[in-house]
Chain A
Amino acid sequence: MKITNKEVDYAARLARLELSAEEKEKYSAQLESILKYIDKLNELDTSGVKPTSHVMDIVNVWRKDISARSSEELVENILANAPERSGNFYKVKKIIE
C-alpha cells in the first residue's frame, strides 16, 4: 500500500502531531514499509481462525459494585499532573461549543 503525504497529514492531524516537511517524507516511507510487512500476514489463510479481540483466553473479569472515594492526598497527586489547575479544577484552553 502506497502511503502519500496526504495520508500522513491526516493521521498526524488526528493524533494532534505537527510534522515538518522532512518528517512527513520520512514517516511516509517508514509507514509504507511497516504496512508492507503487515501485508505479508495477509498471505496466510486465516479463514478458519476466529477473530481475536483479546490476546488472553479469559472472559468476565468483573468487580463488585462497591464504591470507595480516593484520599485527599491521592486526589492532590492526580491534580498535580494536570497541565494547569485552578483550585480543584483542571484548567484548559477556552473551549467554544
Chain B
Amino acid sequence: MDFETVIGLEVHAQLKTDSKIFCSCPTEFGKGENTNICPVCTGQPGVLPVLNEKAVEFIAKTGLALNCRVNTRSIFARKQYFYPDLPKNYQISQYELPVCESGFVDIKIDKETKRIRVHRIHLEEDAGKLLHAIGARELDHSLVDYNRTGVPLMEIVSEADMRSPEEAYQYLSALKNILEYLGVSDCDMEEGKFRCDANISLRPYGQKEFGTKAELKNMNTLKGVREALEHEVERQAEILSAGGKIIQETRLWDAGLGETRSMRVKEEAHDYRYFPEPDLVPIELDEKYVSAVKAGLPELPEARSNRFAAELGLSEYDASVLTSEKPLADYFEAALPEKDAAKLTANWVISELLGRLNASGTNINTSPVGPENLRGLLKLIQNGTISGKIAKTVFDDMFNTGKNAGTIVEEKGLTQISDEAALAKLCGEAIAETPKAVEEYRSGKERALGSLVGVVMKKTQGKANPGLVNKILKEKLS
C-alpha cells in the first residue's frame, strides 16, 4: 500500500544577541561552567526579568521576512515543568498571542515553487545543559551548567505542509538561509543554535485526516533531518502495511546507527499549565515600529538571486547556487573584479573553489583562499598575465599555501608568454616537427591545429598565450 507522508517542523533558532533575553548575562560561551549566570537567570526569589529589545527586533525582522503578520499585542506565558535544567521550574515562553503568525516560505521542488506555511513564531528562553558523564566516565549523578539558561530562542512552527523528507530539507535550508541573511541567528546546527524537531505521520492517499504522528528529535545536521525522516517513513509504512498501529511518541535519531528509537514514554502526559507571565508586561508593536523594522530589512536570498541574474547576467542556476548560502554570496561579490567578469568569477567559485572545499572537508568560511586572493587570480587571467589552464595550478598552490596569486606566478615564473617574436619562433619549430598535423590541417581538418598548439604549450610548460599561438599558427599555415 502507498502512503502519503505528512511533515511539520518546529525550529528553535538561537538569537544572535550579546546578552540573554531577560538579564544582562553574556550569551557567548562562558569562561567555564556557571560563569554566565546571575540571580535572574538562575531564578533566585524576588528577581525581575526585563526583556531584551534586540530579541523583539530580531523576531519582528524574522516575521516580516517569512511573510508573517506581526501581532500588535503579544504576551509571555509560563510553561511549567520540573527538570533540573530549568532553575525556575517554569520556562518563560509564549502561548496565546505570539509575536508573529501566519507566514510562509517558498521552496523549489523539481523546479516548481511550493509554499510551506509558517504557523507561528514566538520568543522563549533556553534551558541549561545537563552532563551525565565526564569524557567516557559515566557519573552516578548529573551535573548542571546554567550558562545557556535564558539565552534567547525563537521557535518557528510550520504547518504540516511538507509531503516528503526532501521538502522538509528544502524548507529548513531556505529558512536557515533567510535567518543568516537577516543576521538574527548563527544557525549553527552542530552548536545547537538551530535545532529542529519533526512531526511525521503517514496516511493512505486520498484520506483527509492525518495519521498518528511520531515526533523526531536529536538531529544535528540538515542532512540528518532528511535521513531521520526517510528512515521514519519506512518504519511507519512497514507497520501500517502489516496492519499495525503507530504509537504517538517521541523518537530519538541515532546518526551513528542510522535509525530512530523510542524515548521512554513518561508516565503522565505533559500538563504545562500555561498562564500569563506576571513579571513581564505585554509587547505592543504599532505600525510605526513594524514599518521601521521593515525598512531595515536587508536584501533577502530571492532578491539577491534575481539581482545576480538581471544585473550581472548570470544564469538562473548560477545565481541560485551562489545565493543559497549568505557567506557564499558575500564571497562571490567580494571576489568579483568587475561586472564583466561575473561569469568567470561564478565559474571559479562554483566549480574550482567549492570543489576544492568539498574535497578537503572545509567550507566557505574557513577557505584558505579568501575572496581578495581569488580576485587577484581572476585579474591575472583577465589581463592575460596567465592562461586559464595555468591559473588552475596557481589556484592549487594558493589553496595549499595560502599565498596570493601574484606571488606564486612570480616565484614560479608562470607569467604567460605573449612575446610574438618568441612565440613565432616556437610555432615555426612546431610546424617543422609535426608534418602530419600540418598536412591534416591543410587538407581541411581544423582540429589538427590543436596538436600544433599542444606542441608549443609543451615547449613553454603551458605558459604560451594560447590565443596568440593559435593566431600565429594560422597565419604561418595559410
| Complex alpha-carbon distance, A69 and B26, angstroms | 6
A14: chain B residues within 8 A (beta carbon): 80, 271, 273
Q: Which of A19-27, A30-38, A85-93 contacts B (4 or more CB under 8 A)?
A: A85-93
Q: Does B460 contact A (CB under 8 A)?
A: no
Q: Would you call B39 and A95 a contact (CB within 8 A)?
A: no
Q: 15 extra interchain contacts, Cβ-Cβ under 8 A, other than A63-B52, A65-B53, A95-B142? A: A14-B80, A53-B75, A54-B276, A56-B281, A58-B281, A60-B281, A61-B51, A68-B19, A68-B24, A70-B36, A74-B38, A78-B34, A88-B35, A89-B145, A91-B141
| Complex alpha-carbon distance, A66 and B27, angstroms | 11
Q: Would you call A63 and B34 a contact (CB within 8 A)?
A: no
Q: Would you call A59 and B132 a contact (CB within 8 A)?
A: no
Q: Would you call A95 and B140 a contact (CB within 8 A)?
A: no
Q: Would you call A62 and B52 a contact (CB within 8 A)?
A: yes
**Total interface residues on B, using CB and 8 Å?**
56
Q: Would you call A60 and B25 a contact (CB within 8 A)?
A: no
A87: chain B residues within 8 A (beta carbon): 33
Q: Would you call B53 and A64 a contact (CB within 8 A)?
A: yes
Contact of A13 among B54, B268, B280, B281 (CB under 8 A): B268
Q: Does A6 contact B (CB under 8 A)?
A: no
| Complex alpha-carbon distance, A70 and B25, angstroms | 7
Contact of B35 among A69, A81, A92 (CB under 8 A): A69
Q: In chain B, residues 129-144, which have Cβ atoms closer than 8 Å to a Cβ of chain A? A: 130-132, 139-144
A64: chain B residues within 8 A (beta carbon): 53
Q: Does B315 contact A (CB under 8 A)?
A: no
**A residues whose Cβ falls under 8 Å from a Cβ of B:** 13-14, 16, 53-56, 58-70, 74-75, 78-79, 81, 86-97
Contact of A94 among B142, B263, B273, B280 (CB under 8 A): B142
Residue on B nearest A52 in the bound complex, by CB: B276
Q: Does B146 contact A (CB under 8 A)?
A: yes
Q: Would you call A95 and B130 a contact (CB within 8 A)?
A: yes
A-B contact pairs, 30 of them (CB 8 A): A16-B82, A53-B276, A54-B75, A58-B281, A59-B282, A60-B281, A60-B282, A61-B51, A61-B281, A63-B50, A64-B53, A66-B19, A67-B24, A68-B19, A69-B36, A70-B36, A70-B38, A74-B39, A75-B35, A78-B37, A78-B44, A86-B141, A87-B33, A88-B35, A89-B145, A90-B84, A90-B143, A91-B144, A94-B139, A94-B142
| Complex alpha-carbon distance, A67 and B30, angstroms | 12
Q: Would you call A54 and B141 a contact (CB within 8 A)?
A: no
A81: chain B residues within 8 A (beta carbon): 44
Q: Given A65-B18, A67-B25, answer yes or no on A59-B143 (Cβ-Cβ < 8 Å).
A: no
1/0 contact string of B45-89 vs chain A (CB within 8 Å): 000001111111000000000000000010100001011100000
Contact of B281 among A59, A90, A92 (CB under 8 A): A59
| Complex alpha-carbon distance, A70 and B276, angstroms | 29
Q: Would you call B75 and A75 a contact (CB within 8 A)?
A: no
Q: Would you call B146 and A63 a contact (CB within 8 A)?
A: no
**For the complex of A and B, 9 pairs with smallest distance between CB atoms:** A65-B54, A67-B19, A89-B143, A62-B53, A90-B144, A67-B26, A53-B276, A59-B284, A92-B84
Q: Would you call A70 and B271 a contact (CB within 8 A)?
A: no
| Complex alpha-carbon distance, A70 and B132, angstroms | 26
Residue on B nearest A72 in the bound complex, by CB: B35
Residue on B nearest A63 in the bound complex, by CB: B50
Residue on B nearest A79 in the bound complex, by CB: B34
Q: Would you call A86 and B143 a contact (CB within 8 A)?
A: yes
With both chains docked as a complex, state the minimum distance between the C-beta of B118 and any C-beta of chain A, in angstroms.
24
Q: Does B244 contact A (CB under 8 A)?
A: no
